[in-house]
Chain A
Amino acid sequence: MQGRMIEMAKKLLGDGTVNRVIGWKKGEFAYDITPAVFENAEEIDADFVYDDFCGHNLSKYLIKESKKDGKMLVFLKPCDTYSFNQLIKEHRINRENVYIVGIPCEGKASAETIKEKGISGITGISSDGDNFKVNTIYGDETVAKSDVLEERCTVCKSKKHVVYDELIGEDGEVNENSSRFDMVAKLENMTADERYAFWRNELSKCIRCNACRNVCPACSCENCVFDNPNSGVSNKAAVTSFEENMFHIIRAFHVAGRCTDCGECSRVCPQNIPLHLLNRKFIKDINELYGDYQAGEESEGRTPLTTYTKEDCEPSIVNERGCK
């Protein structure tokens, strides 16, 4: 795959279709990959990489990059295309400045999960498709790829590209049987006290690094209210546990109906807080109250939370559904 991508990037750069390429650049180790912009064939030959650790969703970078002169080639995995479409819908990306090549994805691995298995001193990782052979200074280890996937990949919602100019390989299908709401259902079935305890335990780990917000394609405000000293609620540190909770809850409300469930928030959280569960709760509720809706599936049209119909549920739904 990497070879075909490099070939295509060089061709499109060479024939002037695009001026720049955003992709992934190899790191110091086998897994520490960084999103990067490439401007010529030499740079691509030297550093371009696409492998099991290229989990980063590149769509958000296009907010900034598509405003620059010239055209940018971007490689998008199926779930990244939902974020892209959503940003088009919100008029945050200049579509004409982007050339999208859809690339297949069989799930991305988490180096952190590999390390959590006690594997340390990693000097190399190779894959035979199903397994990783991990070379370390303490000896070689084998781990099944399915055991070290990012959470979002274990419940992949779609292998279909919802937007692209060109595809490499065959397009996939939407996975109607994704079990991504199982944990939300489990939380819903808890008592209010249990649920409160669950979230206090998780959110009390937060160090307010804002990685979840900054990586989130739906968080595209020019200046976040929590960063703006003139907002009156700028919030560099949580003064109380109430504020600690509210940052994440407010953020989840703000992206409700727009979050495509790309899972970047949970991937980047240094404290491994399962932030995606807050967003999935909103997605599940929207599905149940307004009919199935997948943010990012379309690049135009009204959305459940930005449209009024007489059939919309009344605020009293909160009482009717109740809480255990």
Chain B
Amino acid sequence: MQKLSMEKLDELFRKMSEKQAVYLPVDKENGAKFEKWSEGTKMSQALNTIRSAKDFIFPQTENLVDFKVNGKNIEVADTREECEDFVIFGMKACDARSFGILDKVFLSEPVDTYYKNRREHGVLVTLACTKPSETCFCQTFGINPAEPEGDVSTWIADGEMYFEANTEKGKTFIESISDMLEDCGTEKVDAQKAKINEIMRKLPLNNLKTDAFGGDKLNELFNSPKWAELSESCLGCGTCTFVCPTCQCYDIKDFDCGNGVKRFRCWDSCMYSDFTRMAHGNSRNSQLERFRQRFMHKLVYFPANNDGEFGCVGCGRCLAKCPISMNIVKVMKALEG
């Protein structure tokens, strides 16, 4: 384990920025947001960003290909830009796990090369949480905010930042900044971990369990009479899906530019009335069905296809942002009850 005085953080970001783009959470008037570091940028102390880190590897919109029509010829242009190396600094444990979940979707055959390209260029430097909120329930999904995953894990304790590499990529990264770091023992970090674990035990959602969910509970959960009441006041907006670090559904559309077509991909939301609309129409015509889809996907379909792993990381963004405060925690408690 190595450490750095927090006073030297600016110097560290400056050094890191020489080799790659550095993104870190920055306080804005409406909450924290990942932004590229430039001279003067300060790292936010907020628990988490409003939008998740998935934007880096799965952006809300991206151009896939351009078709230019010229008489009887159609020119096909690959619009992919060369992806620069980047570091996401200060990601939290929940977002770090969400990358693993997204990998299962985009890196399984057939591999999504757009995603893979970005994923390979990024180094994830995570930061242990010091002040979890009542909306946090990452522990439900086996995530420990005291020991965040990622290429490098960091902790802040007593004015110092501690670093530990978890992967080869992480080791290379640490080497690139090693002249700024000094070797140290793990005592301070161990104490910090114990403190975080103690806080986690006090959180109101500490006892939320996943026992009632999983791939083998499909029929029973799908047919539950409780969906009607749970979905009753859902507005059908896409807030939960768009602030979610694991929601991965997208739509591909052609944008007519007059003399050609831009084919782009954008996030989609199962809450929307035209979600998975096909030639025959829509397969889920009521908000109940669309609402159910979101939670069945995370709690049943995803684990059924991914060795039991759930499609939620308990970051609590949907709890904080849903306009009517209906969310996965309330759904889980109602369905298991």
Binding site for B on A (CB under 8 A): 27-29, 31-37, 56, 61, 112, 115-116, 120-123, 136-138, 205, 207-211, 213-215, 223, 227-229, 234, 236-239, 267-268, 270-273
Nearest B residue (CB) for A27:
B325
**Also in contact, A121 and B323, with CB within 8 A (given A214-B235, A229-B274):** no
Beta-carbon contact of B321 and A270 below 8 Å: yes
Q: Residue A122 contacts which of B50, B134, B266 (CB distance < 8 angstroms)?
A: B134
Instruction: Name B232's contact: one of A36, A120, A209, A214 (CB within 8 Å).
Output: A36
8 Å CB contact of A123 from B134, B235, B327: B134
**In the complex, which residue of chain B has the Cβ closest to the Cβ of A237?**
B266
Known: A32-B319, A209-B239, A227-B274. A237 touches B131 (CB 8 A): no
Contacts of A123 in B (CB 8 A): 134, 204
Size of the B side of the interface (Cβ < 8 Å), in residues, is: 53
Is the Cβ of B30 less than 8 Å from the Cβ of A271?
A: yes
When distances are taken between beta carbons in the complex, the residues of chain B under 8 Å from A37 are 232-233
Q: State the CA gap A36–B274 with chains docked (Å).
A: 25
Contacts of A27 in B (CB 8 A): 325, 330
Q: Are A28 and B323 in contact (CB under 8 A)?
A: no
B259-289 CB contact bits vs A (8 Å, 1 = yes)? 0001010111100111001000000000000
26 A-B pairs within 8 Å (CB atoms) are namely A32-B319, A32-B327, A34-B324, A34-B326, A112-B320, A120-B132, A121-B199, A121-B203, A122-B133, A137-B134, A208-B242, A209-B238, A211-B235, A211-B237, A214-B236, A214-B323, A215-B237, A215-B323, A236-B253, A236-B274, A267-B323, A268-B235, A270-B50, A270-B239, A270-B321, A272-B31
Interface of A is mostly: loop
Q: Looking at chain B's contact residues, is the secondary structure mostly helix, strand, loop, or mixed?
A: loop
**B residues in contact with A136, CB < 8 Å:** 134
Tell me, in angstroms, the Cα distance from A251 to B266 when the chains sit together.
21
Is A209 within 8 A of B237, CB to CB? Answer: yes
Which A residues are in CB contact (< 8 Å) with B135? Answer: 29
* Nearest CB of B to A177, in Å: 28
Contact call A121/B330, Cβ cutoff below 8 A: no
How far does the Cβ of A73 sit from chain B's closest Cβ, in whole Å? 16
Cβ A121 vs Cβ B237 within 8 A = no
State the 9 A-B residue pairs at the shortest beta-carbon distance, nearest first: A237-B266, A268-B323, A32-B325, A272-B30, A211-B237, A214-B235, A35-B233, A209-B238, A270-B321
Q: Mark B303-337, 1 if CB is under 8 A from A, else 0.
A: 00000000000000001110111110110010000
- B272 to A227, Cβ gap below 8 A? yes
Tell me, rounded to whole Å, the shortest Cβ–Cβ distance linking A54 to chain B: 11
**B237, A137: Cβ atoms closer than 8 Å:** no
User: A267 — nearest CB in chain B belongs to which residue?
Assistant: B323
Contact: B60 with A35, CB < 8 Å?
no
B47 at the A interface (CB under 8 A): yes
